[in-house]
Amino acid sequence: MDEPPELQRNQHWRMAVWALRAGYLALGVGIAGLIVTLSGSTPWVLLGALIFWLAAAAVTLTGFLWARHDLPEQRPAYWSMRFMLIHDTVHARSPSHRS
């Protein structure tokens, strides 16, 4: 992944990565809530997961846009940055690679 090194040091980027990871968790809870709702139980779990997922999506978008704004003028395209974001959420960096 051809990622600008500035992104790994950018606090907004790290916020977007962690918010997207929280969104994955909310999606998992939402799927479990959907199963529980379809089995005849109350939809509160599904509603809570939806609210949590929407909040995570808002924080992810905000961090993503702030991080992109902080990059120097030759910024990567939106699509390539989206793929970088997904890549960073599923591939944890070891402490030796952090600066």
Q: H-helix or E-strand containing 11?
A: helix 11-38
Residue 58 inside a domain? The answer is: yes
pLDDT at 56: 97
| Structural tokens at position 81 | 């940055």
Q: Is residue 34 part of a domain?
A: yes
Domain assignment present for 36? yes
What is the pTM (predicted TM-score) of this model? Answer: 0.83
Q: From 67, 60, 57, select the one nearest 3 (Cα to Cα).
A: 67
Say how many domains are in the chain: 1
- The token pair at 46 is 């599904």
CB 19 within 8 A of CB 60: yes
Alpha helices per DSSP H over the chain: 5-9, 11-38, 44-70, 78-90
The residue range of the domain holding 83 is 8-91
In this structure, is residue 31 part of a structural domain? yes
Residues 61-93 pLDDT 10s: 999 999 999 888 888 888 889 999 999 999 876
